[in-house]
A = this chain, B = another copy of it.
């Protein structure tokens, strides 16, 4: 389905893969500070932090999948089918937010995870469809800044907020269970393993990389969580922009979905439609697509952020091969 991750070197990076069998026509979309964010139950937000991210624009409204605001706060929604549970109607005394408004609601007004946490204490997520054709997506969210990350889940028991020390989110099962499951992998390491099996047997590492034996390699959401966590937590890179962005794409590359390996029936295959890496500190949104490996970038600060009107960049989907001769 999807994997989101954070990464910090000199700057803070936030991104995700979006895995699905077809695209809804997403674009890189910048919402400038003075382009109002309307809300179904709450007052319109005429001025807000500028936001850049990947969105499907419907009726001039940016349905963000993942985005970052100019303060360096990032937020991504990931599929959470079967576990997401929203209020059927608005609740009195609460901030009632339709699911599709959740990213604008948070990124429009919060500069940090801490502020987002405070805001969420009053939130009631309502399962209102955007329109008749678009039912409320079943999602959970990763919200992160350079200081830390939280996971937000709206489940039967209500809105749940979890510290997310691993900076990774995938899909099912719920986050708490995913984190617990990591205990089963605590012995895995990037280093050559020691022989703990028996001191009387001449066991040895016949290959490099055997310290990771036991890491799951399939595309299910639980396995992607473990693999992305292992890769991210053990990641080593320089801290320049190029080195950081490069390494971030390698981290998410560890959970990329190749066409053919996840057959969803009817001749359709779930693939990694796009991978994003946003320098949240600088507002530069980098992405690759399944068919275009070259990193393409949009810099929010190259646009007039004090203006109105969505700024939209269609994805460059065609492979950009550089001929050397």
Residues of A within 8 A of B (CB): 1, 28, 82, 165-166, 171-173, 177, 180, 182-198, 200-224, 226-227, 229-231, 233-237, 242-243, 245-247, 249-251, 253-254, 256-265, 269-270, 286, 288, 290-291, 293-299, 302-303, 313, 316, 318-325
Tell whether, in the assembled complex, residue A253 and residue B258 are in contact, meaning their CB atoms are under 8 Å apart.
yes
Q: A205 — which chain B residues lie within 8 A by C-beta?
A: 183, 186
A18 CB to nearest B CB, Å: 13
A190-B263, A291-B242, A321-B295 known; A250+B254 contact, CB < 8 A: no
Tell whether, in the assembled complex, residue A294 and residue B293 are in contact, meaning their CB atoms are under 8 Å apart.
yes
Cβ-defined partner of A202 (8 Å) among B165, B233, B256, B269: B165
A175 CB to nearest B CB, Å: 13
Q: Which of A212, A216, A261 has the most CB of B within 10 A?
A: A261
8 tightest CB-CB pairs across the interface, nearest first? A217-B217, A212-B218, A209-B219, A189-B196, A198-B233, A236-B260, A215-B217, A294-B294
Tell whether, in the assembled complex, residue B197 and residue A187 are in contact, meaning their CB atoms are under 8 Å apart.
yes
Interface of chain A: mostly helix, strand, loop or mixed: loop
Tell whether, in the assembled complex, residue B236 and residue A221 are in contact, meaning their CB atoms are under 8 Å apart.
no
Tell whether, in the assembled complex, residue A290 and residue B214 are in contact, meaning their CB atoms are under 8 Å apart.
no
What is the copy number of this chain in the assembly?
A: 4
Of all chain B residues, the one with the shortest Cβ separation from A267 is: B236
Tell whether, in the assembled complex, residue B166 and residue A182 are in contact, meaning their CB atoms are under 8 Å apart.
no
Tell whether, in the assembled complex, residue A297 and residue B319 are in contact, meaning their CB atoms are under 8 Å apart.
no
A190-B262, A217-B227 known; A249+B212 contact, CB < 8 A: no
Complex Cα–Cα for A193 and B184 (A): 10
Q: A173 — which chain B residues lie within 8 A by C-beta?
A: 180, 206
Tell whether, in the assembled complex, residue B204 and residue A213 are in contact, meaning their CB atoms are under 8 Å apart.
no
Of all chain B residues, the one with the shortest Cβ separation from A188 is: B197
Complex Cα–Cα for A193 and B324 (A): 45
Cβ-defined partner of A213 (8 Å) among B82, B218, B257, B293: B218
A187-B197, A208-B219 known; A303+B325 contact, CB < 8 A: yes
